Structures are given as C-alpha cells and as structure tokens.
Structure 1
Amino acid sequence: MRKELLMTLNTHTPDVERWLSAHGWSPGRDIGERADELVSLRVRGAAEQGSPLTPSAAAVRVIRSYGGLELPYPGGEPKMTLMMDPTIGFRGDARQIAELAEQLGSELFPVAFETYENGVWLVDGTGRFFYLHHTGGYFLGQNEFEAFANALSGDTLADAEDYFV
C-alpha cells in the first residue's frame, strides 16, 4: 500500500511506540470524559444513519488511550494521517460497519479515520482491529500495536473475509 513511503519505520513494537510517543501518546494516557463524549457522538451519528453501533469495552479503551491523536505516516505527505477520532467517517459508513460486524460475528466500533485512503479503523469486542475501505474490509491486527505496525509497514493487509464466521 504505502511501502515506498515508509521504508524508515521498523515495525517492531519499540519503533511503533516511538512513533506514537513522538505524536503525543504515552503509556497510561487517558483522555477521560472526552472519550465518553466522542463515543456518544459516534453512537448518535450511527443511529441517525439508521444503523446503530455499540461500543465494546475494547474500543472504548482504545479511544481513551489514543483519542485525539493525529498520527502522520512517516515519510508521507501531511494529508497521510491517522486521525484517532471515532466521529470521523464517511456517508453511510455505519451501515457498512454493521454489515462487516455481522459477517465477522462480532460487534465493531470505529476508533480512527485514515485521511489518505479515507478508511475507518474499527475494533471488535476482543480488541482485534479491522479497516473499512471503499474496496472492502481488511484485518489490521490482534491489538493496536500489531495494527499500527501492519498499517505502517505497507504490507498487503489480510481480507476481513478470512475472519468471517
């Protein structure tokens, strides 16, 4: 996907942690009530779209820890940013999120938006990360560090259908 732009990032967790830390994250970070506000806004927005979404504890944990961060991709243009905000999406995304969740047999909730590809990052109830893109759904990783590393590596992502029930 973006391999040519990301050759300088080693995908080992320490490098991902350095990348996150350089953009405002630290272990134990918690945006507190702001996370609750963001979740409530997204829940209301999804309901208005006619496709209710329910946040899992895992999704709320991710929003509390990373919410509000703007994470530019290394070597990318300024527009290549992962916005850690569950309220950013695209028209009709709640329906598509609900459909993907049904196919996976697990609730999904948005936690971020990628500005370059205009895709939504999602977390299921077990903490797995998925990516909703106009070309379909993809698996990002078993947890946030694996998801960050896989997305930044530029490697081809696994199809979400490999995880369908």
Structure 2
Amino acid sequence: MPRLENARDVDAWFGDHGWFPGRDVAGLVPAMTARIVEEYGREGFPVEPFAAADAFLAEHGGLRLTIDVRRDEHLSFTPRTVWRDDPAEVAELSRGLGVRLFPVGVDSSEGSTVLVDERGRFFYLHHTGASYMGADKHEAMIALAHAPMRDAEDFFVRPDRPAGR
C-alpha cells in the first residue's frame, strides 16, 4: 500500500488505478447493488442502497486498488459478501450506529468489508470487529494505511450520548 498522508496522496493512489475527478459509472451501480441486496436478503438481513452509497459507487465502483502486488492483495470497490456472517454483522453494526450501512467494497488483504453509512462515513468490518475509517474516502483510506483504526463502538448511539461522538 502506498504511503497515504493526505487527500492528494489518496487521489493519486486512486488515479493510478483508473479513478479521475468526474468519473461516472452510475450505469453500473444498479447491477452492483442488486447483487449485494439479493445476497443479504437471502441471509435474512436486508440492505438497500441509499444516496451516499450510490454516489460513492457511481464515482468509484469497479476500481481495484493494489495494496500489495507480491501477495496479490487489493481493495476492490465492487460490493460482495466476504464471509457468510457478513449480513448479520452489518445488521448488528447498523443497529449500534443507529444508521443504515451499505457494503461498497472489499479489502482482500484482510478479508474485510468496507461499508458506507447514510452520512457518508466509512466503516471496516473485520473478523475481529468493526472499525471507523473516517468521515469521507480520504480519511478512510488514510486510516486504512495507518491502522489500527478507531473502534466503531465509539460511534454507537447510546441514550447518554448523541450519535457520532
């Protein structure tokens, strides 16, 4: 994974893999989201795309960013189920956060799902737990490059604390 310190570094990494400002693959998004909606629904944990997920996928859908070329590890922005338990884990995380989540990608180096919430924040679902990546794609990728990330439970909605703190 390249050294990611700021938004310019993130955009350069994305650019090396086919992204450019104004990229628009919105026509592919319905097929991408339909697959994950069907997979999650079959497991009893329905999800549906929302504006933040559609917007991210319209610009970044289908990109495959190299994390480690020698180990053939990538960050792919094509939603898919990584583990059979993903739908249940996403539903549990969504309840804790008090917002809807939608899978937008996969980190093959960790076998982890990348999620976006209705506010456009990014979360990372790893077999060891869920993490908060950042408020936007730039923060999310910088956090990914500088793990460990912040625990997603820090953002759970609790009666004694407003959401997102």
Same fold judged by TM-score > 0.5? yes
3-state SS of paired residue (1:90): coil
Q: Deviations over 1:75-104 (max 9, x none)?
A: 553422101111242212111101100000
Distance in 2, matches of 1:69 and 1:20, equals: 8
Q: Deviations over 1:18-58 (max 9, x none)?
A: 11000000111111221111011111111111110122210
Q: Which runs of 5+ in 1 are unaligned?
A: 1-5
Q: Specify the alignment match of 1:26 in structure 2.
A: 20
Q: Is 1:163 aligned to residue 127 of structure 2?
A: no
Contact kept in structure 2, 1:11 and 1:150, CA below 8 Å: no
Could you tell which deviates more after superposition, 108-117 or 47-56?
A: 47-56
Residue in structure 2 matching 1:35, options 29, 32, 48? 29
Q: Specify the alignment match of 2:142 in structure 1.
A: 149
3-state SS of paired residue (2:96): helix
Q: Specify the alignment match of 1:117 in structure 2.
A: 110
TM-score, structure 2 length as denominator? 0.90
1:1-165 alignment, distance < 5 Å: 6=1, 9-73=3-67, 77-152=70-145, 154-165=146-157
Moved over 4 A (4+): none
Residue type matched to 2:153 in 1?
Answer: E
TM-score, structure 1 length as denominator? 0.90
Distance in 2, matches of 1:77 and 1:102, equals: 38
Distance in 1, matches of 2:149 and 2:61, equals: 24
Q: Which structure's relative contact order is higher, taking Cα pairs within 8 Å and 6+ residues apart?
A: 1
